[in-house]
């Protein structure tokens, strides 16, 4: 892009601008190219899932990627209502997994692939306390004690809705100090020792290992949520990964993390 | 001449794209709002307590910023100690720190199991998380640097001879600070207050992490917007518009000062 000395080039500015644009475009292309993967044979499956599936789906996806080197499973976790809002707003996703059938209601049906809905797993509620159980919580009714700090999920997300149903079925008004935006945020408050008790899923208590203690909720008031696995894409890699999740191997991973089978 | 025109076009296009980047979302908020239903939206039970809590906590934050921040700004402006630049850098850290990280740090410090919080609970029986006090802590943590930097800037621009003059007339350092320094940096205090207040009003990450989310107690306006978005988008838009309006008013007040 050198200009002949002493001669004004009328198009010089334009040429330079074009060169700069080209360089920028090239840089952008290179940068985005990195994310897309080098080999053309790689397939990416984008999965948006309920927070409660964080550990189990991550483990299942890593297993799958190991046995299927050509597939890259990208996972993102949020509350089911956030997932549905994102999909309705056009977020690119191939597969979504939600906590409970109710969470699926606002999902735009036109986005679902033909015959794309299956039940992935089932989950129930459980009380989580810090390992030492400082609030000495043994029953659901204990949650109404004013000295206790109870954290629930917000009523807009499935775990919050289910917890509210269980509490009202038991006739308990819990002493709530905070409504968290998803089940993992709720669990975190117990793990950090800031809350004495939280109502989360059984799978969260199992996945947290020794970092929390579970206190069962009786079956008479407990809520069972069936987790729909919804395919939004006809892509073969997506179909294959969905089939894997529903296979014995996939189910084993979910069971390891405290889920029940549908 | 032509190259000048090209250059100008070449700069105008990205400049206008830049304006669009900033303007489009705000205009979209105005277009998507249900104006007729606005009074009903704002009267919803989730909206009023959130606005009231935001007003109360941000006012408290502002008072704390003024009480602690003004002397701190003076210290930073006047101290010639070799560690002062480091202190100034330290004060700016919360400016660049992601607010959620600030919230985690506050939990580690003042949580029930926290470095200070544990003692506070054992000795005084106080527990800060999940209370409006925690909201003020979070807001102060993120807003104080804005206040300090704005006030320090105007204090540094102040002629030091005024201090000396006041001293020769027999004024104590405290009296000099109170009757000479503070009145002369009043514009800096005003813009620092506006910036700090706006930052406190917008606080989300540190608040939800450290104070939690309970309507009327720790659910400030930004938290209410976030929660409402999934269940009641129109209420979220209405609250967002109130906050947009407040931001514009603050900016208007600041511009009046700066563009005189």
What are the pLDDT digits (tens) for A121-147?
A: 999 999 999 999 999 999 999 999 999
> What's the rounded mean pLDDT across residues A67-91?
92
A85 with B213: Cβ contact below 8 A: no
Helix (H) or strand (E) run with residue A108 in it: none
Out of 3.30.565.10, 3.40.50.1820, 1.10.3720.10, 3.40.50.20, the CATH code matching B60-218 is: 1.10.3720.10
Distance from CA of B36 to the nearest CA of A (A): 25
Let me know: does A221 contact A96? Beta carbons within 8 Å: no
Q: Is the pLDDT of residue B222 over 80?
A: yes
Pick the residue from chain A with its C-alpha nearest to B208: A180
B6 with A13: Cβ contact below 8 A: yes
Q: Which CATH architecture describes the domain A43-122+226-256?
A: 3-Layer(aba) Sandwich (3.40)
* Site from A178, A181, A184, A196 to mutate, B interface, most B CB atoms within 10 angstroms: A178
Q: Is the pLDDT of residue B147 over 70?
A: yes
Token digits of residue B81: 């100690």
From the list A17, A154, A178, which residue is nearest B10 (CB)? A17
> What's the rounded mean pLDDT across residues A238-245?
96
* Site from A17, A51, A80, A154 to mutate, B interface, most B CB atoms within 10 angstroms: A154
pLDDT of residue B257: 59
Quickly count: other Cβ atoms within 10 Å of residue A221's Cβ.
16
Nearest partner of B219 among B96, B49, B2, judged by Cα: B49
Percent of chain B past pLDDT 90, that is, above it, reads 51
The A residues from 117 to 156 touching B (CB cutoff 8 Å) are 149, 151, 154-156
Pick the residue from chain B with its C-alpha nearest to A150: B130
Asked casually if ipTM beats, i.e. exceeds, 0.85, the reply is no
Distance from CA of B121 to the nearest CA of A (A): 12
B227 with A156: Cβ contact below 8 A: yes
Q: With bands split at pLDDT 50, 70 and 90, how would you rate the model's confidence at B2? A: low
pLDDT of residue B43: 85
Cα(B66)–Cα(A257) distance, integer angstroms: 51
Q: Count of A–B CB contacts within 8 Å? A: 63
Beta bridge partners of A229: A97, A118
> What's the rounded mean pLDDT across residues B6-31?
90
The domain locations on chain A are 43-122+226-256, 123-224
Cα(B124)–Cα(B116) distance, integer angstroms: 12
More confident residue, A237 or B164: A237
Name residues whose C-beta falls within 8 Å of residue A175's C-beta, 6 or more positions apart in sequence.
A143, A144, A145, A146, A147, A148, A149, A150
Chain B within 8 Å of A184 (Cβ-Cβ)? no
Distance from CA of B139 to the nearest CA of A (A): 18
Q: Which residues of A131-142 are buried (b: 16+ CB within 10 A; e: fewer)?
A: eebebebeebeb
Cα(B49)–Cα(A226) distance, integer angstroms: 35
End-to-end CA, chain A:
67
Q: Which CATH architecture describes the domain A123-224?
A: 3-Layer(aba) Sandwich (3.40)
Q: With bands split at pLDDT 50, 70 and 90, how would you rate the model's confidence at A26? A: very low
Distance from CA of A136 to the nearest CA of B (A): 17
CB contacts of A10 in chain B (<8 Å) are 2-3
pLDDT of residue A38: 46
A179 with B214: Cβ contact below 8 A: yes
> What's the rounded mean pLDDT across residues B170-183?
86
B230 with A14: Cβ contact below 8 A: no
- The mean predicted confidence, pLDDT, of chain B is 89
> What's the rounded mean pLDDT across residues A74-100?
92
Pick the residue from chain B with its C-alpha nearest to A12: B3
Q: One fold for both A43-122+226-256 and A123-224? A: yes
Q: Is the pLDDT of residue A67 over 80?
A: yes
Let me know: does B132 contact B217? Beta carbons within 8 Å: yes
From the list B130, B213, B218, which residue is nearest A154 (CB)? B213
Let me know: does B87 contact B144? Beta carbons within 8 Å: no
Nearest partner of A47 among A241, A250, A248, judged by Cα: A241
pLDDT of residue A36: 45
A214: region left, alpha or beta (phi > 0 left; psi from -120 to 50 alpha): beta
Let me know: does B240 contact B201? Beta carbons within 8 Å: no
A209: region left, alpha or beta (phi > 0 left; psi from -120 to 50 alpha): left
pLDDT of residue B80: 86
CB contacts of B231 in chain A (<8 Å) are 81, 155-156
């Amino acid at each position: 892009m050198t200009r002949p000395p002493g001669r004004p080039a009328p198009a010089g500015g334009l040429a330079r601008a074009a060169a700069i644009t080209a360089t920028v475009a090239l840089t952008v292309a290179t940068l985005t190219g990195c994310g897309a993967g080098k080999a053309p044979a790689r397939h990416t499956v984008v999965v948006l899932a309920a927070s409660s599936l964080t550990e189990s789906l991550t483990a299942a996806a890593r297993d799958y990627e190991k046995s299927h080197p050509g597939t890259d499973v990208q996972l993102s976790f949020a509350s089911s209502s956030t997932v549905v809002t994102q999909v309705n707003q056009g977020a690119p996703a191939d597969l979504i997994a939600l906590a409970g059938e109710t969470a699926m209601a606002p999902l735009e049906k036109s986005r679902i692939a033909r015959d794309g809905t299956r039940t992935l797993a089932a989950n129930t509620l459980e009380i989580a306390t810090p390992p030492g159980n400082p609030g000495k919580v043994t029953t659901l009714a204990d949650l109404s004690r004013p000295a206790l700090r109870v954290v629930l999920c917000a009523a807009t997300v499935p775990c919050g809705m289910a917890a509210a149903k269980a509490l009202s079925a038991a006739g308990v008004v819990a002493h709530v100090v905070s409504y968290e935006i998803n089940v993992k945020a709720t669990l975190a408050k117990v793990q950090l020792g800031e809350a004495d008790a939280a109502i989360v899923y059984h799978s969260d208590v199992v996945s947290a290992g020794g970092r929390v203690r579970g206190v069962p909720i009786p079956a008479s008031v407990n809520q069972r949520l069936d987790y729909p696995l919804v395919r939004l894409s006809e892509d073969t890699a997506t179909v294959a990964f969905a089939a894997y999740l529903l296979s014995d191997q996939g189910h084993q991973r979910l069971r390891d993390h405290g889920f029940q089978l549908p | 001449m032509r190259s000048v025109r090209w250059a100008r076009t070449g700069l105008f296009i990205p400049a206008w794209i830049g304006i669009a980047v900033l303007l489009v979302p705000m205009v979209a908020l105005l277009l998507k709002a249900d104006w007729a239903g606005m009074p009903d939206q704002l009267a919803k039970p989730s909206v009023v307590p959130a606005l009231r809590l935001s007003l109360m906590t941000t006012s408290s934050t502002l008072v704390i910023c003024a009480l602690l921040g003004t002397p701190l700004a003076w210290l930073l402006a006047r101290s010639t100690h070799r560690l002062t630049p480091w202190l100034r850098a330290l004060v700016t850290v919360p400016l660049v720190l992601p607010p959620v990280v600030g919230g985690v740090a506050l939990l580690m410090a003042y949580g029930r199991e926290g470095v200070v919080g544990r003692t506070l609970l054992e000795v005084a029986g106080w527990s800060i998380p999940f209370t409006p006090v925690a909201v003020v802590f979070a807001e102060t943590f993120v807003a104080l640097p804005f206040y300090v930097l704005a006030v320090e800037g105007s204090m540094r621009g102040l002629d030091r001879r005024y201090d000396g003059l006041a001293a020769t007339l027999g004024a104590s350092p405290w009296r000099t600070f109170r009757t000479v320094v503070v009145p002369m940096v009043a514009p800096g205090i005003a813009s620092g207050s506006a910036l700090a207040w706006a930052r406190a009003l917008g606080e989300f990450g540190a608040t939800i992490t450290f104070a939690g989310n309970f309507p009327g107690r720790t659910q400030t306006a930004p938290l209410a917007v976030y929660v409402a978005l999934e269940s009641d988008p129109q209420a979220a838009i209405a609250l967002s518009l109130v906050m947009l309006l407040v931001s514009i008013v603050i900016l208007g007040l600041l511009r009046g000062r700066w563009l005189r």
